[in-house]
Structure 1
Amino acid sequence: MDITIEPLDVERDLDLLHAWVTHPRSVYWMMQDATRDDVREEYAGIVANPHHDAWLGRVDGAPRFLAETYDPAHSPLAGLPELGEGDLGMHVLVAPPAGPSVRGLTTAVFDAVMAHCFADPSVRRVVVEPDARNEPIRAKNVAAGFVELREIPLPGKTAMLSVCTRAAFEAARSAEHLTPALMDRAQRHLVAKALGEFAHERLITPAPDGEGFRVVAGSSAYSFAARRHPLDHWVVDPASIERLRAGVPADPDAQELIAELAPTLGIPDQLLPTYLEEIASTLAAGAWKLRHRRVPAADLVGAGYQEIESAMTEGHPAFVANNGRIGFSLDDYRAYAPEAGQPVRLHWVAARRSLTHLSLAHDTTEHELYDGELAPEVRDRFDGRLRALGVTPQDYLYLPVHPWQWQHKLAVTFAPDVARRDLVHLGAGDDDHRPQQSIRTFFNAGRPERHYVKTALAIQNMGFVRGLSPAYMAATPAINDWVASVVESDDELRACGFGVLREVAAIGYTGDAFHRTAEPSPYRKMIAALWRESPVPRTPDGEQLTTMAALLHRDADGDSLVTAWIKESPVDAATWVRAYLRAYLRPLVHCLHAYDLAFMPHGENLLLRLRDHVPVGAFMKDIGEEVAVMAPPGGARLPLPAEVERIRGDFPDDVKALAIHTDVFDGVLRFVAAILDDDGMLPAEGFWAIARETIEEHAADHPELADAAAAYDLLRPEFRHSCLNRLQLRNTLQMVDLTDQAESLIFAGTLANPLAVQS
């Protein structure tokens, strides 16, 4: 919500003031019987008083609160020994609601008024004196950092004198999301997700219990209401969850649920604490988003790409521990988490050229790369820094690093490399970037036409340390060139509006001691980056860009963005879904059938282009690490350049089709279908019928691919159930081997295919 504060205009605002201060809910304002003239006289006197000010507050442009600030030395508090220089008195009155109450409004208003008070650097403390009987406002004061000093007599009331220092307010505000109410909502949401996804992966088996279900976990029993959708998809109602621990009612607690289920989940004992830490971090992030990212879905319908990106609140839809980010402090979270939406200026290091590898796309040169990413004055500044140290700029390559990575890793773990000038810290660049959902990738907010930058980041998140391997990335631009050449030359893919965002350059430093050890380690992935094309120059005017993860988004009140888009579009839900699957599912099926080419097309790896709120095309990204040609050399439909052979794999037949069955049907579409069904937009059977028609129409249009379509058999009655949480639970530190991901898969029987033709 957008909160502004302006000087009160007594005549303009008189009707509002009178209604607010005389409302029954404003009893502690002590003006219940005031007339309009009484209110005019009172506030005209305040406005005229050089030691007292009155302010009107607006929320999203509408008048919603009244605030007063005053000098305690010129008030009834004058002479109190506890008060002194730099104190500022404050009163705030939130308007009685004219309609449905807005969750979190009072807290947001209170924070805004406090920030307004402390905006004056001469203010040392804020002073309040609420009626001692007003327990709710006293509790809010304490939560904001106030210390209650003592009761004092004032005209008309006994007041609780309370003070809040600037430091106390900042400390309270830094953890203001960690309240019982917000944590309870975060706990219920995560417990509901855990119950649903663990049931989906057949780690637990909920038993029917009256009109709901029941799960026994250790000494606890959980009862809940849930809806079951195709693909054994469980949607658990968080508000319905009731827990009995040893027969006594207890609050749902995600960490305790995991600990209770640990023997069933198969988490190794030595790794259970790591997983519990990721669960705690996910809960903390959930509470923070409930406090700070309450963006209604309706407000995102016409929003810009980065506004949508920062409004996403769920993380990966299937993983339970999906916001681990172990290594980030609270300040780091507020600075670098994508949902915080804060601008970030990447740091740059000069890496000695002889110890660093830069690989480039076929149509990119080193000179063009740096000229496109760094303004001339920035290049001059960097070159000047190197010359001042007595080294030659031509002996170095410029490498962008995450600010956290410089502070916590390069300047410490790689201190010898910095000391011998193999790495030289050049400071922050001039461009403001926005962190993306993938946490280590940045969009250039100031110059959107410039490349994304993906950086190494040594935090533990969702089963991996998020580093980047210089050796693994050396072939990344070549892989992207090849994939792009295939996609761009294909008439079918062009007709679907399908494209890829190439990773055009990759750089990695290997001069450190860790690259001279016998065994690979995460320390070899600490100093690397890549540049990816921006979608902005390739998006036609009049189209909206959005992460596909937005289709799975529900706001804090449970409203879904995909439903809001459909309602604002000129088409019905079935037509909208047909357009979406033409932009998403059909191109992926074509790549598989025509080229044995598989992507990792989950929500954050794909951008949708919308026109009039309807999908018209898509961009795949994150190509280098997450693309595969699933055919041995002798059976390949297309030859691969030698430097691209890394992406070829010889997979079992029943695994090949999982590129669609698991990654698309189970990984994305089961969630979209359930949202539309639960929202009453499109029954699940209707959604899956359209998906089946999409594949059948592709087959009819491409009879030359009939043999491939028969081999993949995407409409088979069932497919192997590949499980994501089981991977993370087995090894919370590295859930798969990126060089052989197929061998890492864990299966739990089969899933009935909702696209299968019913006999």
Structure 2
Amino acid sequence: MQTQAEDRTPSVLVVLPQATASAAAEPSAEPSTDVSGHPVPELPAVTPEAWREANRQLLAKALGEWCFEDMLKPIPSGEGRFRVDLQSGTSYVFAAEPGAFGWMRVDPRSITRTATSMLGNSIAEPAWDALRFLSDVSTTLGTDASTLATYFTELSATLAVDAARLTHGGTSAAGLRALGHTELECHMTGHNWLVANKGRVNFSASDVRRYAPESRQPVRLQWIAVHRGLAEFRGTSELSERDVLLRELDEETRARFARGLRASGLEPDAYVWMPVHPWQWDHAVQVLHAADVAQRRIVPLGESPDAYLPGQSIRTMANVSTERRFDVKLPLRILNTLVWRGIPPHCTQGAPVVTQWLHGLLQKDPFLAEECRTVFLGEVASVTVQHPYLAKLPEVPYQHLETLGCIWRESVSSRKDASERVRTFASLLHVDSSGVAFVTELVRASGLAPEQWLRRLFETLLVPIMHVLYRYGITFNPHGQNTLLGFDERDVPHRLYLKDFVDDVCVSFTSVPERGPEPDGHDHVLPRKHPMVIRQHVVDQVFVGHFRYLAPLCAEQLGVPQRTFWRLVRRTILDFHQRFPELRERFAEYDLLTPQIPRYALNRDRLVVTRYTDRALRHALYPNGTLPNPLAEE
């Protein structure tokens, strides 16, 4: 694992004030060194200046996103300024730059708040308090007090992390270039579309410092043995249960675990061995599965010898001790970015068979496999554990049913070339403490003209996604964490990596002969959807979810006007159409250039539609109006 000697910023970035009292009452569970072996200092509290700046930035984001999602109505006030009038009698005025899809990029330093004083006169003052804004806007949003209170918690938790990052600084964009994929993930700042993107409901302040990716703390997984009456192992045809254990655990550890079981009078082969996140073991498994633990149907084996780092999803762990080993996706009973972060049993059961099907289908495609060299990071093995009582009850909320299981996935380091750097698509949007975007640093390092580099980016990213969409009627829900880019020695994008197949892969319900026989019996794992919905995965995750933010960054820092940016994207799509004229009918079926696209409002869904209702199933998003598509313009 690569480290960066010149980075002198502390490796623990998050310190929340409310953790102080409990820290004095019990020994700290935090290690004394970070993943690079450097001592972890005792950090001071977040500074008031950093707290205000974090609020100011999040307030600007909330105004921009909530206007974009039609929760607020911006009124033009001339000279690039807008006003939002709230039912509370308060108004917010701000400067904003119009962007694609009707979105506005709000200037954080321009925001003022006007409210009627006790004397009856209106007073305008600079606005920076995002929590006060939530209070002001509450009646306008049309939601309930319970939702607002819980959302307040998510927003406050997000601000605490952002303010800690600002207090302690961070690695420069130039410094980030030297980091490997796993380390780079720990420097990212979360979902760019969702305002409360680090809510992590159920995590304490100490949990955030211990297990959140920005804390960059190595984690040792707890291994357990689950009786075969409860647990089911599944793997691809090339990978048996024994193969996984031989790969993931060294001989000494396997022998130690087996001795522990035998010493308790238990037969090791009667159990499926699997890892569990230490937080989940303590907060969920030993509580919900207390009966199974007491009756030795679930038996703790001990810690893994390897250290892991969490990615931005928190529940996916990358092995940093033995990088050839698998990534491990583990359930966590925390609410973050709209859903509880468990793993549904149908996903653990379906992961290997869907991986086997996709590999068999797509790796035989010479265009993808040989010309594009696209990498599909397979979910190759899994363990499913269903709750023996709750799973039999109807309408039990899903957070209680997804507490135990695991998926092993091929790691980036096991598939990349020796000289290749792999980074998430989302990392391009990262802006360092000096205001330099990571995409700007990569373009500078490449030596290419910005438009040339962007053309390479668009071809690398879009061509494989379009080929899978048009040729097979399949989409991977290619958001910024599922979509990774391989870069050559000059930091030029040259191939695409895709991950998170199960529950994110969708196929069209129209007949597509090229797909061949599909994995029958896994309709819930491999959902069939209308071609317009299939297309929307690409439009929302790539164009609305990332290019919407990347275009203004490129205009501001690379001198590429937004209009030029979108023309380059459109040109990439049309070039693909020209190369594969035999797919003409499907270009119309999955039309990426349509003038209007449905608007799916992620923040509105949490605050107004779904709220915090404890549902039996993960809910589907429904469109709320339409958006003008910048790709429709000639």
Fold match by TM threshold 0.5: yes
- Residues in 1 aligned to 2:614 and 2:450: alpha-carbon distance in whole angstroms: 37
State which of 155, 175, 198 in structure 2 corresponds to 1:279.
Answer: 155
Cα 1:573/1:634, change in 2 over 3 Å: closer
State which of 567, 583, 607 in structure 2 corresponds to 1:689.
Answer: 567
Q: Cα offset for 1:393?
A: 0.5
Q: Which residue is equivalent to 1:295?
A: 171
- Residues in 2 aligned to 1:568 and 1:292: alpha-carbon distance in whole angstroms: 26
Secondary structure of 1:722's counterpart equals coil
Cα 1:735/1:683, change in 2 over 3 Å: farther
- Residues in 1 aligned to 2:100 and 2:596: alpha-carbon distance in whole angstroms: 12
Q: Which residue is equivalent to 1:186?
A: 54
Q: Cα offset for 1:269?
A: 3.6
Q: Cα offset for 1:647?
A: 4.6
- Residues in 2 aligned to 1:267 and 1:746: alpha-carbon distance in whole angstroms: 17
Structural mapping, 1:92-171, within 5 Å: none
Q: Which residue is equivalent to 2:447?
A: 570
Higher relative contact order (CA 8 A, sep 6+): 2
Cα 1:257/1:577, change in 2 over 3 Å: same
Structural mapping, 1:153-302, within 5 Å: 176-211=44-79, 212-217=81-86, 218-246=88-116, 247-248=122-123, 249=125, 251-302=127-178
Q: Which residue is equivalent to 2:34?
A: none
Structural mapping, 1:647-666, within 5 Å: 647-666=525-544
Q: Cα offset for 1:534?
A: 0.8
The alignment status of 1:599 with 2:476, answered yes or no, reads yes
Q: Which amino acid aligns with 2:610?
A: N
Question: Per-residue CA shift, 1:589-631, capped at 9, x if unaligned?
Answer: 1111111101111111111111111101111111112010012
Q: Cα offset for 1:738?
A: 6.4
Q: Cα offset for 1:560?
A: 0.3
- Residues in 1 aligned to 2:463 and 2:45: alpha-carbon distance in whole angstroms: 43
Q: Cα offset for 1:359?
A: 1.3
State which of 390, 414, 417 in structure 2 corresponds to 1:537.
Answer: 414
Contact 1:565 1:613 in 2 (8 A): yes
Question: Per-residue CA shift, 1:253-307, capped at 9, x if unaligned?
Answer: 2223223323433434432221111111111111122234511112112322222
Q: Which amino acid aligns with 1:201?
A: E
Q: Which amino acid aligns with 1:435?
A: P
Instruction: Give 1 or 2 for the bigger CA radius of gyration.
Output: 1
Secondary structure of 1:412's counterpart equals helix
- TM-score when normalising by structure 1: 0.75
The alignment status of 1:677 with 2:555, answered yes or no, reads yes
- Residues in 2 aligned to 1:385 and 1:462: alpha-carbon distance in whole angstroms: 39
Contact 1:498 1:583 in 2 (8 A): no
Question: Per-residue CA shift, 1:371-401, capped at 9, x if unaligned?
Answer: 1011111111111111111111111011211
Cα 1:670/1:430, change in 2 over 3 Å: same
Q: Cα offset for 1:737?
A: 8.2
Q: Which residue is equivalent to 1:445?
A: 320
Cα 1:483/1:267, change in 2 over 3 Å: farther
Pick which of 587-596 and 729-738 moved more.
Answer: 729-738
Contact 2:396 2:616 in 1 (8 A): no
- Residues in 1 aligned to 2:522 and 2:287: alpha-carbon distance in whole angstroms: 35
Contact 1:727 1:736 in 2 (8 A): no
Q: Which runs of 5+ in 1 are unaligned?
A: 1-58, 63-104, 113-144, 146-163
Q: Which amino acid aligns with 2:571?
A: E
Q: Which residue is equivalent to 2:17?
A: none
State which of 725, 733, 739 in structure 1 corresponds to 2:612.
Answer: 733
**Structure in which a larger fraction of residues adopt strand:** 1
- TM-score when normalising by structure 2: 0.89
Secondary structure of 2:101's counterpart equals coil
Cα 1:386/1:439, change in 2 over 3 Å: same
Q: Cα offset for 1:718?
A: 1.9
Contact 1:727 1:735 in 2 (8 A): no
Q: Which residue is equivalent to 2:119?
A: none
Cα 1:706/1:221, change in 2 over 3 Å: same
- How many residue pairs align between the two structures? 599
User: In percent, how many aligned pairs have the same letter?
Assistant: 35
Q: Which residue is equivalent to 1:585?
A: 462
Q: Which residue is equivalent to 1:49?
A: none
- Residues in 1 aligned to 2:366 and 2:483: alpha-carbon distance in whole angstroms: 20
Pick which of 578-587 and 202-211 moved more.
Answer: 202-211
- Residues in 1 aligned to 2:50 and 2:89: alpha-carbon distance in whole angstroms: 26
Cα 1:355/1:735, change in 2 over 3 Å: closer
Pick which of 345-354 and 243-252 moved more.
Answer: 243-252
Q: Which runs of 5+ in 2 are unaligned?
A: 14-19, 31-40, 117-121
Structural mapping, 1:379-390, within 5 Å: 379-390=254-265
State which of 359, 364, 374 in structure 2 corresponds to 1:484.
Answer: 359
